[in-house]
Amino acid sequence: MSDSMNNESVGVKEEFTELDWITLKNDIGSEQMIHQETAGEKFQRKFKENPLVPIGCGLTAGALCFGLMSFSRGNRRTSQNMMRLRIAAQGFTIAALMVGIVKTSLK
C-alpha cells in the first residue's frame, strides 16, 4: 500500500516540475510588460537599418511581374529583358543583404 502511495506522490511531483515553466512565464509577464513589435513596426525598423534590401525586393518583384505580363502578351524581347533585370535585381538584393550582415557584425 505504501509503495503505491509513493509512486503516486512521485508522479504528482513530476507533474508539478513539468508545469513549473507556466507559472514562471506568468510571473515574468506580470512583473514587466514586454512590448510585442507589430509587423509594420518591424518593417520600419528593418527598412531604417538597411533600406536597400526592401528596395531590391521591390525591383525584383516588379521586374518579374512586368516580365510575366510581357510574356503573356507575346512580347518576347521585353519579357527576356525583364527576366535579365530580375536576375540583376536579385543580385543587388543579395549584395545588400551581405553588406547589412557585415555592417551588423562590426557593431
CB-CB contact of 101 with 65 (8 Å): no
pLDDT tens-digit readout, 3-56: 555 555 555 555 556 666 666 666 665 555 667 889 999 889 888 888 999 999
This prediction has a pTM of 0.61
CA 79 to chain centre: 31
Q: Which three cell numbers stand for residue 100?
A: 547589412
The confidence score (pLDDT) of residue 28 equals: 63
The confidence score (pLDDT) of residue 36 equals: 86
Q: Where would I find the H helices in the chain?
A: 2-31, 39-49, 52-73, 76-106
Q: Is the pLDDT of residue 90 over 70?
A: yes
Q: Is the pLDDT of residue 85 over 90?
A: yes
What per-residue string of b and e applies to 26-38 under the rule 16 or more CB within 10 Å gives b?
eeeeeeeeeeeee
